[in-house]
Structure 1
């Protein structure tokens, strides 16, 4: 069973997450031939102050 772990900056709507989960599931089905019910997707919302790129936390970006 494929398991995908997706880390996102917090703030996405439930509708956006639902669309993402559906699209990722379909991509796994199309690419790997898995059944949709065998695909697990774990979504992790990360607070902006807990994520940094280039030495700058996202909470500090304007």
Structure 2
């Protein structure tokens, strides 16, 4: 039974998250031959101040890009 944990920063729409679940499920069915009813996918949204990137918190890194 595949368990997939997708971690993203906050901001994705419900439609985008639904598309991720569909497409990841489709890939596991197509590539690994798994049954959709056995696939579990969790999307965790993490605030940018709690995600590090390039030695900085992501919200600080984004401020430097402007």
Whichever of the two has the greater Rg, that structure is 2
Greater percentage in helix: 2
TM-score, length-scaled by structure 2: 0.89
CA RMSD of aligned residues (A): 0.7
TM-score, length-scaled by structure 1: 0.95
- Structure 2 unmatched ranges of 5 or more: none
- Structure 1 unmatched ranges of 5 or more: none
Q: CA offsets, 1:5-55, max 9 Å, x none?
A: 100010000000000100000000011101111100011000000001111
